[in-house]
Amino acid sequence: MAETSLRVPSRRVSRTGAEVSGVEETNRLIPEEVAVALVYDGSTHAVMMATPADLEDFAVGFSITEGVVAARSEIREFEVVEHEKGLEARMWLVPDAGRKQTDRRRRITGPTACGLCGVESLDAAVPAPRRVGHSASVTAEQIHAALAAMPPAQTLNVATRAVHAAAFWDATTGAIAFVREDVGRHNALDKLVGAVVTAGLDPAKGFVVLTSRVSVEMVQKTAMLGAEIIVAVSAPTALALRVAEEAGITLVAIARPDAFEIFTHPDRIVLSVERGEGIRQEVHTHARSLSH
């Protein structure tokens, strides 16, 4: 009998394969996509389409990156409730965080008919990012090692070839501490944030690895975690670079097992002596030009 629970991250479906050599009836695994409501103290804050795995990590990470709570300890209870058409990730907050969330909901649902409100909404779309510290330092070899370790660690993507991943490379152990996957790249990063925070890892002692492009939200969420370095296999947007520069984040992108490009704050990346200062100066110049 087919699994009917909405908490199954992938499902096997039938398909027709058409090749030059002929037609084949077979099946394959595809990822699930479910509506997940983030509920605080009985009120729904947002509904996200997500892969129904690591839901507590997702709820905790979303709460932190969206500024609902400042720490995992501000969520005093958590449960997942399954409905016919989706899931509720229910959280109960400590009193102070609960009052702040209630006030925030009142502001969101207030009148929006005036022109000034529109300006305020635009400001809210790209808020000033949280500035991160400046204690992280990693080598090119560590970045290459993290990239090489990523593919086999993406178990859901190995099975389905259809999901994004976000990982945290722990410089203390020299290995990937967590990988979180989802049909949505933002969700994958929120899940990772939740896992790192719940485990009590120091986000400055390592770096975030992304399999997706780096849009501004990915930088903002990383800044809320407090991680100082992002390594991504795809390219960033220009706005993401400006926000990374402002947040103090080192953004490494278009990363491959044997090469990568540094776009902002390159001093955290220790390059080889043979390549070092010339490349370092070139990256500094490129990063400065983006801010003008």
DSSP conformation class of 214: B
CA dist., res. 66 & res. 104, Å (int): 11
Q: Is 114 among the residues known to form the active site?
A: yes
CA dist., res. 207 & res. 284, Å (int): 20
Helical pair 55-65 and 185-199, crossing angle rounded to 10 deg: 90
Taking residue 257's Cβ as centre, other Cβ atoms within 10 Å add up to: 15
CA dist., res. 38 & res. 118, Å (int): 25
Which residues sit opposite 13 in a β-bridge?
Answer: 28
User: Which listed residue (18, 113, 114, 238) is catalytic?
Assistant: 114
Q: Is 244 exposed, middle or buried (0-12, 13-18, 19+ CB in 10 A)?
A: buried
Cα torsion at 11, 14, 16, 19 (round to 10°)? Answer: 50
Q: Which two tokens stand for residue 51?
A: 């892969």
CA dist., res. 140 & res. 270, Å (int): 6
Backbone phi, psi, residue 71, to 5°: -155, 160
User: What's CA 44's distance to the chain center, in Å?
Assistant: 21
**Sequence-separated (6 or more) residues with CB below 8 Å from residue 28:** 12, 13, 15, 160
Look-up: residue for tokens 């300006």? 119
Q: Which two tokens stand for residue 119?
A: 């300006």
Backbone phi, psi, residue 164, to 5°: -90, 165
Indicate which residues carry an active-site annotation.
114
